[in-house]
Amino acid sequence: VAIEKDGATVLIDDLSLVYMGGSVIDFVDDLMGQSFQIRNPNAVASCGCGTSFSI
């Protein structure tokens, strides 16, 4: 599945799509560097740095 918004295209495979429902993907540029962050309302736990989560 290809989702396009504000000139950016995100590709999500069919198996992962069910887990991404309601998620927000944001590009962050701060003192730690540049990265994409995913806020997923389906996540029940995440690590302290925000890199890993479980559903």
Residue 28 in domain: yes
Query: Is 36 a member of any domain?
Result: yes
Domain containing 48 equals 23-55
- H-state helical runs in the chain: 14-17
Structural domain count, the chain:
1
What's residue 36's pLDDT?
87
Distance (Å, whole) CA 41 – CA 51: 15
Residue 2 domain flag: no
pLDDT in tens, 23-47: 999 999 999 899 888 888 888 887 7
Q: In this predicted model, what pLDDT tens digit does every residue of 13-22 receive, in sequence order?
A: 999 998 888 9
